[in-house]
Amino acid sequence: MFIGHFAPAFIAAAAIPERPRLGTMFVAAQLVDWGFFTLALIGVERMRIDPGASVMVPFDLYHMPYTHSLAGTAIWAAAFLLVVALHQRSWLAGLLAGLVVASHWLLDFIVHVPDLTLAGAPPKLGLGLWNHPWAAMPLELALTALALGHYLKRTRGPAGPPLVLAGVMLLFQLVNWFAPHPAEAGALLYLQALLAFAVLSALAAWVGKNRWPRQRGGLALSAR
């Protein structure tokens, strides 16, 4: 799953759109992948290209105990909760950010073939929806579209920035699905993933700065 991970970010940002902003929630949504690809760059966590790994994704994610175990994800979520809560001076904001981080493991559990763990050791877990593109693709698009719609319904602002964000997200997802995959895992692949996360997070921050929460009756409050 790629852009589907941002569905919880939209929902959380809609709950308190002024604090933290959408960009913070986008970072939360992919925080464990930020961690994975950074650790992969220095050889702490590892993956390899295996065309037989699943129908949709030829990545054998065979060693990622610090980011994609349930325990590891919980630690990342707790750390981000504290960072956001202290920075935003809001425990509610921190809790929402932490829940968005934690949602990553649950969404991965649905689509990944068994490569997730509870604490870094077997059993390996995953429902394997990546082996069923006819279900995985519509699910990812539907989750993202519904969450974006909810965010737009709960906030007010110009239509341009969200449309740009949605267009770039769709473009990146199509590339993720249909572009040729690399012959081997390496620094270029990891840096490309980190760049994609950075671009989407920057666009989300831009969107958040141009949206304000709606009150009942359609009135808006400043998000500053």
Q: Which residues of the chain have pLDDT under 70?
A: 17, 19-20, 215-224
Phi, psi of 72, deg, nearest 5:
-60, -45
User: Tokens at residue 2, please?
Assistant: 């790629």
Q: What is the pLDDT of residue 19?
A: 67
Q: Which of 69, 67, 32, 63 is nearest to 47 (CA)?
A: 63
The per-residue pLDDT for range 143-179, each reduced to its tens digit, is: 999 999 999 999 999 999 999 999 999 999 999 999 9
CB 87 within 8 A of CB 27: no
Cβ-proximal residues to 72 (8 Å cutoff; 6+ apart), any chain: 32, 65, 66, 119, 120
Q: How far apart are CA 54 and CA 128, in angstroms?
A: 8
Question: What pLDDT shows up at residue 201?
Answer: 98
Alpha helices (runs of H) in the chain, residue ranges in sequence order: 7-15, 22-29, 31-41, 70-88, 91-111, 133-154, 160-178, 187-209
Tokens standing for residue 21 = 């902003």
- pLDDT score recorded for residue 136: 97
pLDDT at 222: 41
Q: Which residue has tokens 């956001």? A: 84
Q: How high is the pLDDT of residue 17?
A: 67
User: Could you tell me the two tokens for 98?
Assistant: 């932490």
Amino acid at 77: A
DSSP state of 69: B
| Amino acid 1: pLDDT | 85
Selection from 31, 33, 11 nearest residue 22 by Cα? 11
Closest CA to 200 of 161, 156, 147, 151: 161
Task: Answer yes or no: pTM beyond 0.75.
Answer: yes
Please give the structure tokens belonging to residue 179.
């572009």
